[in-house]
Amino acid sequence: YSEARAGEAEALVRISRGLDRPGALGFLTFVLPIILDGIFHGLAPQWFDLNTIALLQRDGIGFEEVGRIKRRDRALQVAVLGGGLAPASVFATALLSVAGTVSASG
C-alpha cells in the first residue's frame, strides 16, 4: 500500500509546503498564484483550471494530478505574461526614445 501511495504522498507534501511559507515568499507561492488562477480561469476557463485549493476539494482527483494541472497552468501563465510583457517593453522603449528625441530637438 505504501509503495502504491508514495507518489500521492510526495505530491501532497510538495503542495502543502508550497502553500505554507512565511512572508514575501508566502505571498509569491500562495496569494499571488490564487490571484493569477482566478484571473486566468475567469478569462479562459477552457485553458486554465481553478486554484489549487479548489482542485483539492474536487472528488476523484489526486494530489499528483493537481500538481500536474497547476504546473501546466503556471507554464501557460508565464508564457502569456511573458508574451505580453515583451511587446509592451519594446513599445515603451520606442515611446521613450521618441519622447527623448522630441524633447531634445524642441
73 in Cβ contact with 48 (< 8 Å): yes
Helix/strand/coil percentages in the chain, nearest 5: 80, 0, 20
Length of the chain equals 106
* pLDDT band at residue 106 using 50, 70 and 90 as cut-offs: low
User: Does 98 have pLDDT greater than 90?
Assistant: no
For 4-101, list the strands marked E by DSSP.
Answer: none
User: Does 1 have pLDDT greater than 70?
Assistant: no
* pLDDT band at residue 91 using 50, 70 and 90 as cut-offs: confident
User: Does 12 have pLDDT greater than 70?
Assistant: yes
**The predicted structure's pLDDT at residue 92:** 85
- Per residue in 53-90, pLDDT (tens digit) is 999 999 999 999 999 999 999 999 999 998 888 888 88
Cα–Cα dist 22/13, whole Å: 16
**The predicted structure's pLDDT at residue 3:** 80
**The predicted structure's pLDDT at residue 51:** 95
